[in-house]
Amino acid sequence: LVNTLNPERIVIGGGVSRAGEMLLEPIRKTVLTHAMPVARNRVQIVASRLGSDAGPLGAAALVMNRLFPPIRLAKSELLA
């Protein structure tokens, strides 16, 4: 993933994120060992601050976006 997508950040979420550095440090070492220099020097691997609430909150956000789509206003409507 790191070599293919070259992400700036990988966020580990869900219940496993509670393992913290015990999980993150081996992942970081693996990336340092196996990823190409351009990708490995760029990526940050962090735990989600939402922890095990990430899944339910994401699902709720999807439902809210379906029920209440964002309102798009033209600039002229904003300045009126």
Domain ranges within the chain, ordered by starting residue: 2-66
**How many residues belong to the chain?**
80
pLDDT at residue 80 in the model: 58
What's the fold here for domain 2-66? Nucleotidyltransferase; domain 5 (3.30.420)
* Local confidence band at 23 (pLDDT 50, 70, 90 cut-offs): very high
What is the rounded average pLDDT of the residues 9-28? Answer: 92
pLDDT at residue 50 in the model: 87
- The pTM (predicted TM-score) of the whole model is 0.68
